[in-house]
């Protein structure tokens, strides 16, 4: 039986609005915080090269697959997957990828709000620093004029040691996300993206120019673009690059199915997916070119890990002229990016709950927001009270991971690629070819190439990387 299209489905007001919202989902802490962290700890150029290959050959084709499932279904992520499966005469069990995705994205949003909470905190501290700089008559001086590099480095550990403060910051961000999603697709999500994304690009370009002028740009370019080829075959680097490609393009969880569902029939999904993938990758690389010159110029190391953005950068901003303004601008930028992504993460479950249970959007947003908040508390507490807990020691590679690392690692390295794998098999082999091909907007060689990548390369490469990531000993 073929279900009829739901009436009253919300729509983006234009193709540009769709591109801005989807790019807003893709561009986020994944680009500003996770990409530099992963590049910094996985050997720089080797990781960047693998990452770009993963985006072009695996993630971008899957981005088109997800948006077309959504646009064709005009329903929630799970509803759209079931719809296409039924229309193709296949088992609705293929929607398993959307179910797995919904779970993955709920977990992602839980720790995402914790990191975004750190951003909120650093907007506060850098804002106070800027105020001190201005009132001290040196508005163009370094960040945190009243502090020493040592005390700046201590801000992050001090925040981590304070569960109340961590949870407080996290809740501010959760509530903002709920309020936007509760206002709906046009009035909330689209309006936020249309205002925040241009502001984001403006700030990013400003900071990159600043980094190029005042920082060690040549060293950063060398670090990001000259690969150490001995690291390219490391399974850990491969699975990190693939996981980052999924995370950064908001794939595998259904965000792009959800946003695709609000796209109008005359939007060419092939070209818009290409634009979104290109914009997201460009932002990641530009962010690297903004962050690493600053880090190198004051003699700091690129491999600090997750604290790079919150410990290394603030210290660098302290030592640099104009750092007070730039530090504040940088954290505001990160906040805008995080918010346009977190709303897409919440929309996935809210869209499904409103469709399935007929509750209001606002009730669904507050209800899911609460679940996400509670799960996030586990991540927040894994830096202090629950620091000794190891939730998934039985999964290879996660023996020593606390709640935060477990949620982050298991979603990006396992759930998202797994869900992406099922999507590739579904679109490449199972779903009705006529429907799928017509939805892509692609023709000729581009269509054949896309079909080849989705049907063959994505499943094979994702499986290989998943297996090697879990069992690196296979490579000897």
- CA pair distance 156, 172, nearest whole angstrom: 18
Beta carbon of residue 112, minimum distance to ligand PFF (angstroms, whole number): 7
Q: Which residue number, 23 or 88, has a Cβ lying nearer to ligand PFF? A: 23
Beta carbon of residue 333, minimum distance to ligand PFF (angstroms, whole number): 13
Q: Which stretch binds ligand PFF (CB under 6 A): 22-30, 295-303, 376-384, 461-469?
A: 22-30
Q: Which stretch binds ligand PFF (CB under 6 A): 84-92, 131-139, 194-202, 244-252?
A: 244-252
Q: Which of residues 23-52 bind ligand PFF (CB under 6 A)?
A: 25-26, 28-31
- CA pair distance 258, 446, nearest whole angstrom: 25
Q: Which of residues 403-462 bind ligand PFF (CB under 6 A)?
A: none
SS3 letters across the chain: CCCCCCCCCCCCCCHHHHHHHHHHHHCCHHHHHHHHHHHHHCCCHHHHHHHHHHHHHHHHHHHHHHHHHHHHHCCCHHHHHHHHHHHCCCCHHHHHHHHHHHHHHHHHHHHHHHHHHHHHHHHHHHHHHHHHHHHCCCCCCCCCCCCCHHHHHCHHHHHHCCHHHHHHHHHHHHHHHHHHHHCCHHHHHHHHHHHHHHHHHHHHHHHHHHHHHHCCHHHHHHHHHCCCHHHCCCHHHHHHHHHHHHHHCCCCCCHHHHHHCCCCCCCCHHHHHHHHHHHHHHHHHHHHHHHHHHHHHCCCCCCCHHHHHHHHHHHHHHHCCCHHHHHHHHHHHHHHHHHHHHHHHHHHHHHHHHHHHCCCHHHHHHHHHHHHHHHHHHHHHCCCCCCCCCCCCCCCCCCCCCHHHHHHHHHHHHHHHHHHHHHHHHHHHHCCHHHHHHHHCCCHHHHHHHHHHHHHHHHHHHHHHHHHHHCHHHHC
Contacting ligand PFF (CB under 6 A), which of 88, 170, 248, 267? 248
Beta carbon of residue 468, minimum distance to ligand PFF (angstroms, whole number): 23
129 binds ligand PFF (CB under 6 A): no
Beta carbon of residue 314, minimum distance to ligand PFF (angstroms, whole number): 20
Q: Which of residues 345-374 bind ligand PFF (CB under 6 A)?
A: 345
Q: Which residue number, 31 or 88, has a Cβ lying nearer to ligand PFF? A: 31
Beta carbon of residue 116, minimum distance to ligand PFF (angstroms, whole number): 9
Q: Which stretch binds ligand PFF (CB under 6 A): 67-75, 245-253, 352-360, 381-389?
A: 245-253
Q: Which residue number, 27 or 46, has a Cβ lying nearer to ligand PFF? A: 27
Contacting ligand PFF (CB under 6 A), which of 97, 176, 255, 422? 255
Q: Which residue number, 105 or 208, has a Cβ lying nearer to ligand PFF? A: 105
Contacting ligand PFF (CB under 6 A), which of 200, 247, 336, 383? 247
Say how many residues touch ligand PFF, by CB under 6 A.
16
Beta carbon of residue 120, minimum distance to ligand PFF (angstroms, whole number): 16
| Cα–Cα separations (whole angstroms), residue 159 to 252, 389, 429 | 32, 20, 49
Contacting ligand PFF (CB under 6 A), which of 147, 250, 297, 382? 250
Q: Which residue number, 169 or 320, has a Cβ lying nearer to ligand PFF? A: 169
Q: Which of residues 290-349 bind ligand PFF (CB under 6 A)?
A: 341, 344-345
Q: Which residue number, 341 or 423, has a Cβ lying nearer to ligand PFF? A: 341
Residue nearest to ligand PFF (CB): 30
Beta carbon of residue 56, minimum distance to ligand PFF (angstroms, whole number): 17
Q: Which of residues 60-119 bind ligand PFF (CB under 6 A)?
A: 105, 108
Beta carbon of residue 260, minimum distance to ligand PFF (angstroms, whole number): 12
Angle at 81 between CA 80 and CA 87, to 5 degrees: 90
Which positions lie near ligand PFF, rule CB under 6 A? 25-26, 28-31, 105, 108, 247-248, 250, 253, 255, 341, 344-345
């Amino acid at each position: 039986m073929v279900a009829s299209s739901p009436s009253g489905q919300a729509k983006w007001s234009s193709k540009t609005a769709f591109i801005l919202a989807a790019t807003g989902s893709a561009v986020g802490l994944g680009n500003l915080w996770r990409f530099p962290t992963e590049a910094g700890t996985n050997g720089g150029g080797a990781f960047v090269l693998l990452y770009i290959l993963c985006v072009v050959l695996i993630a971008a084709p899957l981005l088109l697959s997800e948006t077309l499932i959504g646009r064709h279904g005009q329903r929630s992520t799970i509803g759209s997957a079931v719809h296409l499966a039924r229309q193709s005469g296949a088992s609705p069990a293929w929607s398993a990828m959307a179910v797995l995705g919904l779970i993955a994205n709920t977990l992602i949003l839980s720790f995402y709000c914790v990191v975004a909470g750190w951003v909120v905190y650093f907007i506060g501290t850098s804002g106070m620093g800027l105020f001190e700089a201005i009132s001290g008559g040196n508005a163009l001086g370094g960040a945190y004029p009243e502090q020493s590099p040592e005390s700046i480095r201590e801000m992050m550990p001090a925040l981590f040691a304070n569960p109340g403060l961590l949870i407080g910051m996290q809740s501010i961000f959760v509530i903002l996300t709920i309020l936007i999603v509760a206002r709906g697709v046009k009035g909330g999500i689209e309006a936020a993206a249309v205002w925040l994304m241009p502001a984001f690009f403006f700030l990013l370009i400003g900071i990159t120019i600043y980094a190029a002028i005042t920082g060690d740009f040549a060293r950063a370019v060398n670090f990001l673009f000259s690969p150490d080829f001995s690291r390219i075959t490391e399974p850990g680097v491969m699975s990190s690059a693939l996981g980052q490609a999924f995370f950064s393009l908001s794939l595998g969880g259904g965000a792009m199915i959800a946003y695709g569902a609000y796209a109008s029939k005359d939007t060419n999904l092939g070209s818009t997916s290409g634009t979104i993938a290109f914009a997201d990758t460009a932002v990641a690389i530009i962010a690297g070119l903004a962050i690493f010159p600053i880090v190198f110029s004051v003699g700091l190391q690129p491999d600090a890990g997750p604290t790079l953005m919150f410990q290394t950068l603030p210290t660098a901003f302290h030592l640099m002229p104009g750092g007070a303004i730039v530090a504040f601008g940088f954290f505001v930028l990160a906040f805008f990016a995080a918010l346009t992504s977190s709303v897409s993460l919440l929309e996935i479950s809210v869209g499904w709950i409103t469709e399935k249970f007929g509750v209001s959007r606002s009730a669904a947003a507050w209800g899911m927001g609460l679940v996400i908040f509670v799960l996030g508390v586990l991540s927040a507490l894994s830096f202090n009270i629950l620091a000794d807990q190891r939730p998934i020691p039985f999964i290879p590679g996660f023996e020593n991971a606390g709640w935060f690392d477990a949620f982050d690692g298991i979603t990006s390295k396992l759930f998202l690629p797994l869900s992406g794998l099922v999507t590739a098999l579904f679109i490449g082999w199972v779903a009705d070819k006529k429907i799928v091909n017509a939805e892509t907007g692609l023709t000729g060689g581009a269509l054949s190439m896309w079909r080849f990548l989705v049907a063959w390369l994505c499943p094979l490469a994702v499986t290989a990387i998943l297996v090697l990531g879990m069992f690196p000993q296979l490579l000897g």
